[in-house]
Amino acid sequence: GTNTSSVNVENLFISRVDHTLTDRQRLSFRYEYDWGLQATSTSPINSVFDSKSSQPQHQGQMTYTYVIKPTLVNTFTGQSSWYTAIFGVLDFNATQAAMPFTLGVEGMTSLGAGLPTGRNVGQLQLIDDLSWIKGTHTIKAGVNLRYNKVTDTSIASGSQHGSYSLSDIADFASGIVNGTNQGSRFSQSYPVLEAAHIRVESLDWYLTDEWNLAKNVKVQYGLRFERDKNPECVDNCFSRMSTDFL
């Protein structure tokens, strides 16, 4: 047998800054950067076919707290994040030079590599929370807005070259696809788009009241509203039915 191995690498950096503007206003910033290399698969034939994924991720957050008065406090938070996760060989041109197609034979290690694909994802989020203490009531209200941008390149994974999947070693020896009628096949995709750009939005708000009826009795009730829009494709890549579904 053959033993193969690869090394995963992970790094993490976090920073935070807090600033007191006045005795009633505070501001804080937080930044996080996570980067590394994920060894997805290791080829026992040649390292040029090793599949790895570089996945950097950035996150930033700003929080502003304003004590309007001792019983009334507002907190605003704005945050954004972005990461990429592309899976595949690190040097696709070198892989193509070594073998310009992928080959899989039943019971044998596959050769070749497809086009590195994956996703890029970004998010913007805005949150505002208000807390008000009025007698025996603690009233809280807030709103949360999220906006996501996703770029999906997986639809182009088989577009650069063909792929042979052979179910019988005899087909490999003869060079005839499915010559033995065992289900061997050749496939290649021709996507209209190289990437699909998806947008997703959501808006939430809430209102709650915590009522202290007695020292050992509390009643909490409230309302919550959530509106999640259907995902949208900037490239008009979604198929729509021409008739009613039901």
E strand spans, the chain: 9-20, 25-41, 51-54, 57-69, 72-88, 102-105, 117-134, 137-152, 163-166, 185-187, 196-214, 217-228, 232-233
Q: Supply the pLDDT for residue 243.
A: 73
Q: Supply the pLDDT for residue 88.
A: 83
Share of the chain above pLDDT 90, in %: 49
Q: Render pLDDT for 150-184 as a digit per residue (tens, 0 to 9).
A: 999 888 877 777 788 888 788 778 878 888 888 88
Look at residue 160 and give its three-state secondary structure.
Answer: coil
> Rounded to 5 degrees, what angle do the CA atoms 103, 54, 232 make?
85
Pairing of strands 185-187, 163-166: antiparallel
Residue of 4 and 92 predicted with greater confidence: 92
Q: Render pLDDT for 57-79 as a digit per residue (tens, 0 to 9).
A: 999 999 999 999 999 999 999 99
pTM above 0.95, yes or no: no
